[in-house]
Amino acid sequence: MRERYGVPLIVMHWLILLLIIAAYVMGTILEDMAFSPAKLRLYAWHKWVGMLVLFLVPLRIGLRLAESLDHRRGLTPFEVRVSAIVHGLLYLLLIAAPMLGWLHSSAEGFPVVWFGVLPLPDLVGKDKILAETFKELHEGSVNLLVTLVAVHAAAALYHHHVRRDGVLARMAPWLRSKS
């Protein structure tokens, strides 16, 4: 039986994590920036990264569903349930956060032009009240996503350093299983 996930799934996992970190850092910087050409450029990059996450997540989910590794091996029934809930929420938020950002941008009247080349359709018309609602929902979903990523990482580290059951090593090929 295989001990690790397949390379495409591992690459997608870490790529999406890096994209989330990049989008979060850019979003945090944007909050304190004065309106300027640099801020508009950073907003564009933030949107590009968010849309990339949105388009990669269905592929990531497909890879995960096609994976034959038994991800429940070594877990208690409680851990299997908690893991399923956390992973489900992570996937939901990986779709919801960029969608809400896209809705916010549309309601603000700022189009999303992916990588400066591909204009994406506005999902709603310009509406100041709706824009504020989508902004709040986007920020809330991002904060929840970051919290769940931290919980997910803490659980992986717990499995690696305390349980020594090889759970983290399945997704991190540079680690040796401590089991």
User: What are 35-73's pLDDT values in tens digits?
Assistant: 999 999 999 999 999 999 999 999 999 999 998 777 777
Do the Cβ atoms of 12 and 56 come closer than 8 Å? yes
Question: Is residue 61 domain-resident?
Answer: yes
Question: Is residue 2 domain-resident?
Answer: no
Question: Is residue 177 domain-resident?
Answer: no
Return the SS3 of 119: strand
Q: Is the pTM of this model over 0.75?
A: yes
Question: Is residue 83 domain-resident?
Answer: yes
Do the Cβ atoms of 7 and 58 come closer than 8 Å? no
Question: Residue 22: pLDDT band by 50, 70, 90 thresholds?
Answer: very high
Question: Is residue 113 domain-resident?
Answer: yes
pLDDT at 154 over 60: yes
Q: How many residues does the chain have?
A: 179
Q: How many domains does the chain have?
A: 1
**Choice among 10-14, 77-81, 118-122 with the minimum mean pLDDT:** 77-81
CA 80/CA 78 separation, integer angstroms = 5
Question: Is residue 99 domain-resident?
Answer: yes
Question: Is residue 179 domain-resident?
Answer: no
Question: Is residue 81 domain-resident?
Answer: yes
**CATH number for position 41:** 1.20.950
Instruction: Look up the domain containing 20 and give its range.
Output: 7-171
